[in-house]
Structure 1
């Protein structure tokens, strides 16, 4: 348990290096009809840039983890795009397949943003993501390499589902394990939609009973969770498991798929 809490602290420090990116998002996303597919790995600073924008736009998407040493999804990227470079986005709604984090970010704002234009904050990324790379190192380079014990293991029949948001340190720890176990999953973004959402579930800035923004995405998520918003939340349709708490989720994943 102490080791898990240390990982959470490292993940929190890593999130702070992003200066607030990956925390907030629109309450009313333009969710595409067909799910976006992102081939990436948690520890990549370039992939992190894209995940931050996906959180801002509050888009759900499928993740196909491509850790270094992985055999399942890296070869798919090579077959489809001709090279091993990440992130790699597939959007079946527009029949687009693309590399390069900056190009993907511009594309996401164009098709799923409100104005169709990339905000200056996200258009002026430096060529080399030094800050995001520092965040990866602070986080112990988790989510970079595959867990050698699971090589050649079959992927689950159905995608796991994870609710969270990019900057959540508890969610980051779980995503790191999913990457290292090469487990594909659908990520449901649940970013903060307004200031009343800020803070952990048990200590939000606005006191009293939590009320999500009416008609917003969080209101619908509460119905799914059957309680107040708390992330991460994992659903494994392969075993009918539904659970909260990052430490419990990590333990479950390592026992079931490790």
Structure 2
């Protein structure tokens, strides 16, 4: 773990970095806000970075190998005509491969007792959908019933990977920033443990969640043929003008397909986790009239829908770069 959350460890401020982040009061992106990344001493940081490089090298090499290989089976242009029967079948198998992880809310988060759409969100997650280690963090967020600002970092990212590199010193994922505590960190296992310590109200992660990546974590990546791994070549280089919001839970097969598209378009969004038992369910029902997910809202245009096919069509039509 690069950043310590132990209160007895001396922490130092590194230079602040510009980050686009959602301002829930104005429902727009604000690119002028700054936050501080807290790190250990320089020597400890260097040692930890070297350890992380050694630990992450097999994972990075495997993803680099898988990326072009899986694209051969991904069905080509993600904005084109899809076989949705096959899409849903593979996404459903991906959900089954992860058992119940990322399906249920097990903690009534103290951050989310009084649900409104304007609650400030202090957690920022830089990740990409196809990454098995990022998936483990998203599953933990579902269990903890936490909302989070998601900054997709697909391979070829033009915005968010640079932010991570400048903020944490490495282009490695997942990368979590908790503005509430001033902590930022890499390493999925450390992030999950931190989230449960900070927001789990004394609970521990579900049995096997931390170890599960070794055995089944790659299955959704393989079954979905690497969807949500690389930047779509026709995605607009500009961030969305307003807030994007997605009601979802990690292991939902329909929501997975929408999150993949958001990742391939590198569109930041607020993820409202609504797993079974979520205290955010009333907010979803009040917003959409249903408990079904995904439910997507583009606050800049007013578009909203609970139909994953319509959401896909809207995203690729609205956030594609003009062909010159």
TM-score interval (norm. to shorter): 0.7 to 0.9
Task: Tell me, in whole angstroms, the C-alpha distance in 2 between the residues paired with 1:135 and 1:27.
Answer: 25
Q: Which among 87, 95, 98 is matched to residue 18 of structure 1?
A: 98
| CA deviation vs aligned residue, 1:113-168 (integer Å, no higher than 9, x gap) | 02154454334x16x634111221111110001101126x2011223100010011
1:163 match = 247
Describe how 1:219-238 pairs up with structure 2 within 5 A.
Answer: 219-225=282-288, 227-238=289-300
Distance in 2 (CA, whole Å) between partners of 1:61 and 1:175 is: 14
1:50-108 per-position Cα deviation (integer Å, ceiling 9, x unaligned): 00000011111010000001110000000000001100000000000100000000000
Shift of 1:27: 6.5
Using the TM superposition, give the Cα deviation of residue 217 of structure 1 relative to its aligned residue in structure 2, in angstroms. Answer: 2.6
Q: Give the superposition deviation at 1:45.
A: 0.2
2:37 — aligned with what?
none
Runs of 4+ in 1 over 4 A off after TM superposition: 116-120
Kindly indicate whether residue 151 of structure 2 is the aligned counterpart of residue 64 of structure 1.
yes
CA contact (8 A) 1:18 1:131 kept: yes
Does the CA-based 8 Å contact 1:27-1:218 persist in structure 2?
Answer: no
TM-score, length basis structure 1: 0.85
1:140 aligns with 2:225: yes
Once structures 1 and 2 are overlaid, which stretch shifts more, 113-122 or 33-42? 113-122
* RMSD (Å) for aligned C-alpha atoms: 1.8
> SS of the residue aligned with 1:249?
helix
In structure 2, what is the Cα distance between the partners aligned to 1:101 and 1:218? 27
SS at match of 1:20: coil
Task: Note if contact 2:91-2:256 (Cα within 8 Å) is conserved in structure 1.
Answer: yes
Does the 8 Å CA contact 2:239/2:267 hold for their aligned counterparts? yes
Shift of 1:3: 1.1
Structure of larger gyration radius: 2
* TM-score, normalised via structure 2 length: 0.68
Number of residues of Structure 1 aligned to a counterpart in Structure 2: 233
SS of 2:83's equivalent? helix
**Counterpart-to-counterpart distance in 2, 1:81 and 1:251:** 35
Structure 2 alignment gaps of length 5 or more: 1-80, 113-119
**Contact 1:38 / 1:89 at 8 angstroms: preserved in 2?**
yes
The secondary structure found in structure 2 opposite 1:94 is coil
**C-alpha distance in 1, partners of 2:176/2:292?**
28
Residue 254 in structure 1 maps to residue 313 in structure 2: no
- Mapped to 2, the partners of 1:179 and 1:7 lie a distance apart of 17
Candidates 265, 269, 289, aligned match of 1:185: 269
